[in-house]
Chains A and B, each alone.
Chain A
Amino acid sequence: MDLSFTPAEEEFRDEARTWLAENVPAEPLASMDTPGGFEEHREWEHILFDARWAVVSWPERFGGREASLVEWLIFEEEYWASGAPGRVSSNGVSLLAPTIFDFGTPEQQDRFLRPMARGDEIWAQGWSEPDAGSDLAGIKTKAQRDGEFFVIDGQKTWCSRGAFADWFFCLVRSDPDSERHAGLSYLLVPVDTQGLEARAIGRLDGEPGFAELFFDCARVHERYLLGGEGEGWAVAMATTGSERGLNLRAPGRFMAAADRLVGLYREIADSRGPDLDRRDQVVGAWMGAQAYRWQTYATEARLRGGSPIGSEASFMKVLWSELDVELHATALRLMGRDGERADSSWMDGYVFALSGPIYAGTNEIQRNIISERVLGLPRR
């Protein structure tokens, strides 16, 4: 055990910090869930990619640095500490790319990974349906074989960034007689497919961050099938995390937010005097971020020892999503009468954080996974 960083890791950290200090936009970008803000964030992804910071842990030929998982975690710590913009490409990079690495053909890897990493093609997830949210195996959207094509009919919803995305990764029912987990396929669908319409839905903050997708005889070529036909469930579930990034949200994001919260408390206590109850809530948020950090480095060591990522992903998801809500709620309470103002980054962050316990598998589903798969409690 050595919980200090090696000279090479420190050098990597310095390089990232220096580049970020010189390149992070001075002014915050507009919300990525507005048409203009989306394009500003796409531009930022180009800048990151061209300096090889977009996907540090990926192979070089796809634009990465072949960084270790520890280096990826270091990069995330530096990235969020620098105040850099949110990552508009993260759903593709975090949720789809691991699946392409594991199940994609060489042609698919060559076709999709670089444009995804550069933000040239931004991806949105098409899994949930109006009647299939937590119960994902209940999806009904059909994809009937017609020669080399799949013909898709049905509806997807809650597609984050779906109003502006270039591609969708969808889970569809390719065997019309199948039920539940069988007969599903994982299809990649370009936005300009005839018979596909994406309609924006106003999110809690009023921005068109979501979309619902309507498929009416939308034809998708079989070269866009990821993994085996009918094996979509296994493909979708095999890579909820991977060696190229443990999680959609690395600890660095919350460490940086907790540090900002500590700064906010200091500022407010300087002008209004100390408030020990609120100070303790600030400490609680800081502790949550640190606890997540050490648990993540411990998990990294376990993965390096050859264990697959499994249930840790559920522990992490519950921790960071609930921490994010508490952290932002604490900030709003600290702000007193200004807490309700709509023009603060803390309010934006709070509204966004509230989606965390819902998306990527609700925290109720995560707790079921922890109790059934980690603790071994009976399913029924």
Chain B
Amino acid sequence: MDFSFSDDQIMFQEAMRDFLANECPPEVVRAAWENDSGRTNGLWAALVEMGVVGMTAPESAGGLGMDETDLVLLLEEAGRAALPEPLLEHTAVGIPTLAAAGGPVAEAWLERAASGEAILGAGTDQGYAVGAATCDLVFLIGEQVRAVPVDEATLVEHRSVDGSRRLFEVDGEAVVIDTDPALAFDRAAAAAAAQCVGVAQYLLDATVEYVAQRYQFGKPVGSYQAVKHHLANAALKIEFARPAARHAAWCIAVGDPDRSRDVSLAKALASEAVDLASRTALQCHGAIGYTYEYDLHLWMKRGWALSAAWGDAAWHRNRIAVALGI
């Protein structure tokens, strides 16, 4: 039993954090809300350059041959920065699914995905594929995993509350991928859990900073116990969701037999953590947090979206019950 990350993993995380702090400030996220694609101008290429985009592809396909325990820390950072780029769909779901399936689809797409030239999307049969219009190949996960090339597909777009998330119904000629659909779904749910943890941590940190400098009755509002205890409760949820999310990543990496149950543990805890962090952040900011100009809502709305995506807390709690045989 060793729950420590290696020096290399920590260095990669720190590099990602520094990169996003410089290159993905709130103005960049806001711009993705307004533009045609919902994505950033140039960050994908920079993430390819850093090795992030193709990290889960085998070295033979031009990737870094890394697994979910390497990726999970970067997904937390992506959440912390509200990065509007498809790391979940492409790096956490698409590439490993292609790599494991092999065959002609992998032959056609894997190297191009590892280099970031082709972008992989993912969604569920009944749900939406985020950003499908900017993808080349979309995986639809249901009873089977089906791969739909986007240039031949019909896309119907819907708006998300998070302006950078463009939601698409995808219909088109599909190839059935030889893979376990539950595994593909779990990859997405575990990645969403890690991002929820990052979003929640940002919301907590931003709120702590705000209440320490906002004065009322001659004192920082953060000195009042009512405010402190709201924030302590959000911190508690995050403290206990983060290790569960990291454990879920490990379960996927090693093929643990309880993988689905423990991914559900992670996603349920992470959804609940980001939900509470959003509510707490808004309440402790007061009216300023309720404005469109102030940046807080970029994270709150990402949190709402990710909390619900790939199974909300109630859906995953139900799956745990089934796994426990009750």
Contact = CB atoms under 8 A, between A and B. Distances in A.
A287 B273 CA distance: 13
Contacts of B225: 364, 368
B180 to A, nearest CB: 21
B231 A301 contact: no
B326 A269 contact: yes
Interface string A290-319: 111011011011101100000010010011
Interface in A258-303: 262, 265-266, 269, 279-280, 282-284, 286-288, 290-292, 294-295, 297-298, 300-302
Nearest to A263: B326
A206 interface: no
A23 B243 CA distance: 35
B223 A379 contact: yes
B3 A283 contact: no
B326 A282 contact: yes
A378 B325 contact: no
A11 B250 CA distance: 23
Contacts of B94: none
A3 interface: yes
Contacts of B318: 280, 283
A199 interface: no
A9 interface: yes
Contacts of B251: 3
B243 A377 contact: no
B321 interface: yes
Contacts of B208: 375-377
Given A6-B1, A370-B232, A286 B268 contact: no
A287 B232 contact: no
A279 B320 CA distance: 10
B246 A298 contact: yes
A153 to B, nearest CB: 35
Contacts of B69: 1
A181 interface: no
Interface string B251-283: 100100000001001001100000000000000
Interface in B307-326: 314, 317-318, 320-321, 324-326
B11 interface: no
A368 B240 CA distance: 18
Contacts of B317: 280, 283-284, 287
B123 interface: no
B326 A371 contact: no
A298 B3 contact: yes
30 contacts: A1-B2, A1-B3, A1-B6, A3-B250, A262-B325, A265-B326, A266-B326, A280-B314, A283-B318, A283-B321, A287-B269, A288-B240, A290-B244, A295-B240, A295-B242, A305-B4, A315-B235, A315-B239, A319-B236, A367-B228, A370-B235, A371-B235, A372-B228, A375-B228, A377-B223, A377-B231, A378-B212, A378-B222, A379-B223, A380-B219
Given A4-B254, A291-B243, 13 more contacts: A1-B9, A262-B324, A280-B321, A282-B326, A283-B317, A287-B320, A370-B232, A374-B235, A375-B228, A377-B211, A377-B220, A377-B223, A378-B212
